[in-house]
Amino acid sequence: MTTTRLLLATALTVVLLMSVTSTAEAQRRNMTETVIGGHTMYTLLKPGDIPAIFEPTFLRANDSSAERLHDLDEPMIAVTANGIAKAYSTTYLDHHEVVNDSISGSAIAVTW
């Protein structure tokens, strides 16, 4: 390996390490500690940091585009009421955690 390539690789490694370190330091600065029953709990996210889904849209199970959006074996959370059925993707809920919706005129919150 030439000296130039070695210096370039070293510089890139240093930049990557600085990036990882600064991210970890930022998370530690935003972290709060709470002791409950002698156990320390760490909070990294503030309330509202993960946006909920409002007014979700749905596809019919027999809609061919549904297969492109979801694997057939993907876990779903299913809700039924008065003959109406809805399914909520756990993949989407991994990023939002809460869906505020209604079914048969009743407000519901689906959480993951």
Per-residue model confidence as pLDDT tens digits over 8-21: 554 444 444 444 44
Residues 55 and 53: their CA atoms lie apart, in Å, by 7
pLDDT class of 25 with cuts at 50, 70, 90: low
Query: Is the domain of 83 the same as that of 58?
Result: yes
Q: Which of 46, 44, 53 is nearest to 95 (CA)?
A: 53
- Residue in this structure with the two tokens 């809805």, named with its chain if needed: 86
Per-residue pLDDT at 35 exceeds 80: yes
Flag whether 48 is in a domain.
Answer: no
Residues 9 and 32 in one domain: yes
Tell which wins on pLDDT, 82 or 9. 82
Same domain, 103 and 64: yes
Q: Is there a contact between 2 and 10 (Cβ–Cβ < 8 Å)?
A: no
Q: For all residues of the chain together, what is the average pLDDT? A: 76
**Domain interval for residue 87:** 53-111
**Residue 25 falls inside a structural domain:** yes
CA-to-CA distance for 100 and 13, rounded, in angstroms? 44
pLDDT value at residue 7: 53
Report how many domains make up the chain. Answer: 2
Please indicate, yes or no, whether residues 64 and 99 belong to a single structural domain of this protein.
yes
Q: How high is the pLDDT of residue 26?
A: 54
pLDDT at 48: 76
Question: Does 25 share its domain with 66?
Answer: no
Q: How far apart are CA 15 and CA 21, in angstroms?
A: 10
**pLDDT tier for residue 102 given thresholds of 50, 70 and 90:** very high
Place of tokens 């390490």: 17
pTM over 0.95: no
Q: What share of the chain is helix, strand, coil (3-state, %, to 5)?
A: 35, 30, 30
Mean pLDDT on 33-58 = 84
